[in-house]
Each structure stands twice: as C-alpha cells, then as structure tokens.
A and B are shown apart, each in its own frame.
Chain A
Amino acid sequence: GAGVSQSPSNKVTEKGKDVELRCDPISGHTALYWYRQSLGQGLEFLIYFQGNSAPDKSGLPSDRFSAERTGGSVSTLTIQRTQQEDSAVYLCASSLGAGGGYTFGSGTRLTVV
C-alpha cells in the first residue's frame, strides 16, 4: 500500500484479555519495526524483522509479548493477559533496509481497563 497501515486504530480491552495488533507495511519494505509510545517511557523499541525473522527480541517488555511476520509482509504483535501498564500507543514502521529511513503508521492506541 501507499503507507504503513495499522489496525485497529483504537482498542479498549479488559485486564487479562489477549489482544492482537496488526501492521501492514509498505509493499517491498523488507524491514519492519514495532515501538511502544507511552507517557512515562517515551518511545521504546520492541522488536524488528528483517524479512520474516526477528534477530533481536530483547526489547519485548515481557514474555506476554510476542510478534510474528509472515510472507515478509504483515506483522502481528500479540499481548497476552494484558495489564494496565500495557496501555500505550503501539507504532509500526517499515523501511527498505539500512539507511532507508522509516515510514511510521498512525499507531494503535491500546487502553487496558
């Protein structure tokens, strides 16, 4: 597509429920990134994919967080047993690779109640 598409744009969930966030990168972009933006922590790197593989998962906050990317395209970020501290805006970005600069999506605003 023309830009990075994220869905849903807003999600309200009850504490303890699982959520799935979706990112559809720009066609042809091999690199895909997930970040979390919250008031207290600013922008935090979560994970990146080169193609379908994620070389570095160290940014994921806990084992309740997981991400996958299939077909070198769409990625899903899954949060299991959500907690209130998971409330944040989750941003996805994609790029052609090193030095390409990122294109960010508009984010998914997650609210855990």
Chain B
Amino acid sequence: AQSVTQLGSHVSVSEGALVLLRCNYSSSVPPYLFWYVQYPNQGLQLLLKYTSAATLVKGINGFEAEFKKSETSFHLTKPSAHMSDAAEYFCAVSRGRSGGGADGLTFGKGTHLIIQP
C-alpha cells in the first residue's frame, strides 16, 4: 500500500525567505508523486507532479520539488516566499499500480504554510 507523511502540520516563514515543505512516501511500486495547494474554501490545485522523468520537477508559482529515491522524499521548495503563498499544501502518491493517479491518490495530512510579513 502507498502512504505519504508530511512533516509539520504548520510551517511559518518570513516573506522573502526559503519555503521548504517536507514529504516522505512509501510505495510498493515506482511512485507517481504530486503536490497540490488548497486556498481557503476552494478545491485543490495541482502545483507539480513527478512521473519518473526528471527528478527535479518545476511547477507553477515558482515552486519545485526534487524526487530522491534513496531518501523516499519529494520535498517542495520555493526560493522566496510571497504572502500569496499562504495556503494548505498536500503531497500525494498514486494509489495503485497503474501510475499517474489513474486509480486515485493517497494524500498526506497537509501542511499549513504561514507567511510572516
């Protein structure tokens, strides 16, 4: 079975500082990995995804994530935080063997990102 652990339910950074949101996964098959962002009272928006191509994945809004198989990690980073980045962030892994999330995703518990002015 696939699982995801997000370290830190809340992360606070200053505006302009580096953002680092941690995600570790467990998967019995080569994983497809995703990061989603959720703004208040909205659905989830895809930030980026890893599908076994390049290990460094660039997404929207200046975010990127690096797949490290040896560490079973897929941490999300952004060099300089902006106030508009304040939101809930979810890491997810594909549930089944078909890849790409075609049969659903298993999500982490989420990390609430707080940006201090």
List the interface of chain A (C-beta within 8 A of B). 4, 31, 33, 35, 42-43, 45, 48, 50, 55-56, 59, 91, 93, 95, 97-107
Contact = CB atoms under 8 A, between A and B. Distances in A.
26 contacts: A4-B43, A31-B102, A33-B104, A42-B107, A42-B110, A43-B90, A43-B92, A45-B104, A45-B105, A45-B106, A48-B103, A50-B102, A59-B104, A93-B43, A95-B102, A98-B98, A99-B32, A99-B99, A99-B100, A99-B101, A99-B102, A100-B100, A101-B46, A102-B101, A104-B44, A104-B45
Q: How many interface residues does chain B have, given as a range?
A: 20 to 34
Could you say which of B44, B96, B106 has the most chain A C-beta atoms within 10 Å of its C-beta?
B44
A43 B36 CA distance: 12
> Is chain B's interface secondary structure helix, strand, loop, or mixed overall?
loop
A13 B49 CA distance: 37
A52 to B, nearest CB: 16
B99 A98 contact: yes
Nearest to B44: A104
Given A42-B107, A42-B108, A45-B95, A97 B42 contact: no
B82 interface: no
B104 A98 contact: no
> Is chain A's interface secondary structure helix, strand, loop, or mixed overall?
strand
Contacts, number: 65
B110 A101 contact: no
A107 B43 contact: yes
B37 to A, nearest CB: 11
Contact of A98 (B46, B101, B109): B101
A97 B25 CA distance: 22
B41 interface: yes
Interface in B13-51: 32, 34, 36, 41-46, 49, 51
B32 to A, nearest CB: 7
A106 B43 contact: yes
A56 B104 contact: yes
